Structure 1
Amino acid sequence: MLNYLDKLKNTDSGNFFLMAGPCAIEGEDIAMRIADKIITITDKLQIPYIFKGSYRKANRSKGSSFTGIGDEKALRILERIGREFGVPTVTDIHESGEAAMAAAYVDVLQIPAFLCRQTDLLIAAAETGKVVNVKKGQFLSAGSMKFAVEKVKEAGNNKVILTDRGNTFGYQDLIVDYRGLPEMQSFGVPVVMDCTHSLQQPNQSSGVTGGKPELISTIAKAAIAVGADGLFIETHPDPANAKSDGANMLHLDLLEETLTKLIRIRQAIL
């Protein structure tokens, strides 16, 4: 991952970079199939790519919700994807003690939005030497994220990415304020738009988070037009039966068409 952030921001193709994959690692076969499909698309379109998959889902509405297939089993799947496809991988961590464990298998450690102010967690991630992707809390302004960047850098790690995933709007909805993207870029780090989680409708009475996946393309188009360095998209071949966040994932069959349109917007603003 040496100089990887520079490569993401200054690619020969001029494209944005992409973090994409299933919400959670559900099993080896489906994870490998999703990775293979996305890599075929991103290679064709010359989009730098990072495979995303959570080895465990710690933030669940109900205690009975799917959390994972086992930490080591899921992390080994991520490791295999990185090794066999030759792409970097990213996964969430939730507690300081998980940083070193996950860093042994993946290239990018992601700090969930609800945990972006947890100083010990940020420092533990930074001290692994891996790239640290910090998701902006739904409850924070874009300007507040400079402190998260400072925490990582003061721990001796300059490899930081910030990801916007919308702002709390009432009890059951989120809204994206695109002014935040250039504001966070002013901190000297790549900024990503999470096009799927920003369309969540949390706190539903059913205990299952809802979403508006039909607007994923809209969120992504606006983010590229504003100048986002990268996009974060959770995708699945069968969102309706995905074990986590199916309500706001992009169907895998729609990914190539979506990215092709986004490249045209990127080229228009360069």
Structure 2
Amino acid sequence: MASLNPVSVGQVEIGRGRPLALICGPCVMEPNDLTLVIARRLVEVCGALGVPLIFKASFDKANRTSKSSYRGPGIDDGLKVFERVKAETGLPVTTDVHESQQAAPIAKVVDLLQIPAFLARQTDLLEAAAATGRPINVKKGQFMAPWDMNNVVAKITSQSRSGVLLTERGTTFGYGRLVNDFRAIPQMQATGAPVVFDATHSVQLPSAGEGGTVTAGEREMVPYLAKAAVAAGCDALFLEVHPRPDEALSDGPNALRLDDLAGLLRTCLRIRAAISVDE
């Protein structure tokens, strides 16, 4: 296995020998300061448990199932929200980059650039993100094998040494299911990049409803996948949370209820401690 170099995102370090980290927040920025409310609550939960935290939210959900679905406030207002989150909480933040020209303005505010799974092979986008000098988190495409990410890492590291994270979020099985092969965690760690496990997008049911306009999900399965991923040795967890998931404007069916986060993290930390003794 290649040496796992820790990746620094603000004050958070992710990688071999570092604490289990968390990338967490709502799927999309919603109106009425809800994003700030969630960020403040996450600071309380993770501070009490000693979990390093990167705050995540999307200013634009460009790949919504339906054109009529809520997408978010857009890049200009979204970056202002991130500035408030950073000023009020001190947290590093991350968000999606969908187009090459977005990378530079987003990097002026955001600490970690995230490449969505559907765009994981887009060379121009990867290189534009790398050129900002920010660390990058690439979500493995649902259509890609773990070892395909070697080429993704090579595209980025040819442009930048700021660090690469890879995120596992399930593989498409047929038309309507995502499945998780936990061998992907050590297989992607073999690229030299720390690996994040996305337990919430992994429970999506992409074509539920056969032509419906909203993606469904199995929220109740999130804890099982998160615990399994920690047992398999992931370096960080990715979880989308919402205080009232059934009312969320995006991805509510697979979002974890915010009040359930602390209990899940406690269990994951116990698993992490157990496997660390065995290493």
- TM normalised by structure 2 equals 0.92
Equivalence map 1:136-215=2 (5 Å): 136-204=140-208, 205-215=211-221
- What is the CA–CA distance in structure 2 between the aligned matches of 1:100 and 1:148, rounded to whole Å? 20
Cα deviation per residue 1:102-127 (whole Å; 9 max; x = unaligned)? 11111011000000000000000000
Q: Which amino acid in 2 is paired with 1:268?
A: A
2:23 alignment partner, one of 19, 24, 34 = 19
Q: Secondary structure at the match of 2:109?
A: coil
User: Is this contact kept in 1: 2:25–2:57, CA < 8 A?
Assistant: yes
Q: Which amino acid in 2 is paired with 1:185?
A: Q
1:133 alignment partner, one of 129, 137, 152 = 137
In structure 2, the CA distance between the partners of 1:28 and 1:133, relative to structure 1 (3 Å rule), is farther
- What is the CA–CA distance in structure 1 between the aligned matches of 2:68 and 2:137, rounded to whole Å? 28
1:142 Cα offset (Å): 0.2
- What is the CA–CA distance in structure 2 between the aligned matches of 1:169 and 1:259, rounded to whole Å? 29
Q: Which amino acid in 1 is paired with 2:136?
A: V
Quote the RMSD (CA, aligned, Å): 1.5
Query: Is 1:106–2:110 an aligned residue pair?
Result: yes
- What is the CA–CA distance in structure 2 between the aligned matches of 1:159 and 1:255, rounded to whole Å? 28
- What is the CA–CA distance in structure 2 between the aligned matches of 1:70 and 1:110, rounded to whole Å? 16
User: Is this contact kept in 1: 2:239–2:256, CA < 8 A?
Assistant: yes
1:3 Cα offset (Å): 6.0
Query: Is 1:8–2:49 an aligned residue pair?
Result: no
Q: Which amino acid in 1 is paired with 2:190?
A: S
Counterpart in the other structure of 2:242 = 236
Q: Secondary structure at the match of 2:22?
A: strand
1:28 Cα offset (Å): 5.6
1:155 Cα offset (Å): 0.9
The number of residues matched between the two structures is: 267
Query: Is 1:118–2:113 an aligned residue pair?
Result: no
Query: Is 1:64–2:68 an aligned residue pair?
Result: yes
- What is the CA–CA distance in structure 1 between the aligned matches of 2:187 and 2:16, rounded to whole Å? 19
**Structure 1: which 4+ aligned runs deviate by more than 3 Å?**
none
1:96 alignment partner, one of 100, 112, 117 = 100
Q: Which amino acid in 1 is paired with 2:148?
A: S
1:189 Cα offset (Å): 1.1
Counterpart in the other structure of 1:255 = 261
Counterpart in the other structure of 1:35 = 39
Q: Which structure 1 segments of 5+ residues have no match?
A: none
- What is the CA–CA distance in structure 1 between the aligned matches of 2:185 and 2:16, rounded to whole Å? 18
Q: Secondary structure at the match of 2:13?
A: helix
- What is the CA–CA distance in structure 2 between the aligned matches of 1:98 and 1:127, rounded to whole Å? 12
Counterpart in the other structure of 2:3 = none
User: Is this contact kept in 1: 2:170–2:180, CA < 8 A?
Assistant: yes
- TM normalised by structure 1 equals 0.96
Q: Which amino acid in 1 is paired with 2:98?
A: H
1:78 Cα offset (Å): 1.2
User: Is this contact kept in 2: 1:15–1:263, CA < 8 A?
Assistant: no
- What is the CA–CA distance in structure 1 between the aligned matches of 2:251 and 2:233, rounded to whole Å? 27
Cα deviation per residue 1:18-58 (whole Å; 9 max; x = unaligned)? 00000001136111110111111111111110000001110
- What is the CA–CA distance in structure 1 between the aligned matches of 2:33 and 2:25, rounded to whole Å? 13
1:247 Cα offset (Å): 0.9
- What is the CA–CA distance in structure 2 between the aligned matches of 1:122 and 1:45, rounded to whole Å? 34
1:196 Cα offset (Å): 0.3
- What is the CA–CA distance in structure 2 between the aligned matches of 1:75 and 1:98, rounded to whole Å? 11
Equivalence map 1:46-85=2 (5 Å): 46-85=50-89
